[in-house]
Amino acid sequence: MAVRSSGGRLRAELAPSYCPKTHVSFQHCREVAEPGCPRAGEGHWPEGLLSSHALAVNQLQILLLCLAGWINRNQQQVIEYLQEEVQVLKEQLGKQPRFNDDQRRRLAAKAKKIDAQRLKGLTTLVSPRTLLEWHQRLVARKYDGSAKRAPGRPPTPREVRELVLRMARENRSWGYTRLQGALRNLGHEIGRGTIAKVLKEAGMDPAPERQKRTTWKEFLRTHWDVLAAADFFSVEVWTALGLVRYHVFFVMRLATREVHIAGITPEPNGVWMKQMARNLTDGLDGFLTGCRYLIHDRANVFTEGFGMILQSSGIESVRLPACSPNLNAHAERFVRTIKESCLDQMVLFGEASLHRATSDFLLHYHQERNHQALENKLIRPEFNPLPTQGAIRCRKRLGGLLRYYYREAA
């Protein structure tokens, strides 16, 4: 830098340190040209070589500058065109456009690479602040687990719901608080409101109303051990007089499903029914010993004398409503079983054949037939427990109509 004075005023001029023609430093040129320079006579910088080297450097720099300027000018023209296009689109829309999540993601990803101050100078559809908010929202969505959760409170587990309904059915007098305590004993913390909701969705009433509505099924289960059921079924038998209808009177203990054929007669009457009542209530081998109630339909054969004999032995005769076979469902199911499995498959000749068929079927029914109501077990198994080793045998009754497979005991 050189400082010169002119007209009493100081002015500073920047003196270039390189020759505008050769682009070689003036200081170096002076060192080469001056005779006293220690390097002048060494021949390191011949004049022709210095000029050609400087010219090549100058041409390369000019070429690179021209190329960079051309690229920069084209990029600037593209940017100006895109900005003008965005401006035209904004004028045509007349309102702020709406973006979907994919568009927001793409814009936020591109804007992240540009400085915020530079974005403010561009004509964009959204502001830099909006792009930043979109970016933050996308980051938050990465860790958002709300899509995996249902709206509102999480549902009550199915296991707990079934447990609430089971307790409410088996304990009709238990209210919400009592059920809540019983569930807490099992390690389930559940509110009274949730219990009320579960019962309401299942169509079950609260404790006071639920206690009043005792069904026959619940009544029977409560009194299994002291309940017995009686009924008749008819069978056509060939005799010397032709087809004769016989009536079979049977009694069932509901707790064990044991069945007893009390009597078989063509025409049951009051005298015959009294004798049946005496046989059933005999103190030594009466089938109804230990029972408190005998349920039956309203047939005329169940006379007042029949009921009085039962009552004298401490057994109450319970008449079912008219036309309600479902209230004596266990007895009705036995009638279907004996007819489908045995009697409907045979042609009976005489009363003795009917006695033999019913006796053999009862042996099969008690000792050889599995009962679904008793967890698919036998009523009176021949062996307890049943053997698992030994030869397999087949026992036939009624000419092979009834079959039972068992292992021969060792």
pLDDT in tens, 306-336: 999 999 999 999 999 988 888 899 999 999 9
What pLDDT is stored for residue 16 in this prediction? 46
Looking at per-residue pLDDT, the higher value among 52 and 189 belongs to 189
Eight-class DSSP state of 334: H
Q: Where along the chain do its domains lie?
A: 18-93, 100-143, 158-213, 221-407
Distance CA 30, CA 346 (A): 141
Distance CA 70, CA 238 (A): 121
Domain 221-407 has CATH 3.30.420.10: yes
User: pLDDT class for 390, splitting at 50, 70, 90?
Assistant: confident
User: pLDDT class for 203, splitting at 50, 70, 90?
Assistant: confident
Q: Record the tokens describing residue 353, joined without a space.
A: 């054949």
What amino acid is encoded at 188 in this protein?
A: H
Distance CA 387, CA 373 (A): 23
Helices vs. strands in the chain: H and E counts, helices first: 14, 9
User: pLDDT class for 357, splitting at 50, 70, 90?
Assistant: very high
User: pLDDT class for 54, splitting at 50, 70, 90?
Assistant: low
Q: What is the largest CA-CA distance in the chain?
A: 166
202: helix, coil or strand? Answer: coil
Q: Which of 149, 157, 155 is nearest to 187 (CA)?
A: 157
Check whether the bond before 38 is cis (ω within 30° of 0): no
Distance CA 167, CA 178 (A): 10
Contacts of 196 (CB under 8 A, 6+ apart): 176, 206
Q: Which of 335, 139, 181, 134 is nearest to 250 (CA)?
A: 335
Eight-class DSSP state of 6: E
The stretch 343-348 carries a mean pLDDT of: 94
Q: What is the average pLDDT score of the chain?
A: 79
Choose the weakest-confidence range: 20-34, 62-76, 169-183, 236-250. 20-34
397: helix, coil or strand? Answer: strand
370 pLDDT exceeds 80? Answer: yes
Calculate what percentage of the chain has a pLDDT beyond 70. 73
Looking at per-residue pLDDT, the higher value among 211 and 276 belongs to 276
Contacts of 50 (CB under 8 A, 6+ apart): 22, 24, 32
CB atoms within 10 A of CB 248: 21
289 pLDDT exceeds 80? Answer: yes
392-397 and 402-407: which strand pairing?
antiparallel
Distance CA 144, CA 408 (A): 68
Q: Which helix (H) or strand (E) holds 88?
A: helix 47-93
Looking at per-residue pLDDT, the higher value among 39 and 313 belongs to 313
Q: Which helix (H) or strand (E) holds 162?
A: helix 158-170
- DSSP H helical segments within 245-349, as ranges? 270-280, 304-312, 329-341
The stretch 258-283 carries a mean pLDDT of: 94
Residue 47 backbone dihedrals phi, psi, to 5 degrees: -65, -40
User: pLDDT class for 211, splitting at 50, 70, 90?
Assistant: low
223 pLDDT exceeds 60? Answer: yes
Residue 408 backbone dihedrals phi, psi, to 5 degrees: -70, 130
Eight-class DSSP state of 408: P
164 pLDDT exceeds 70? Answer: yes
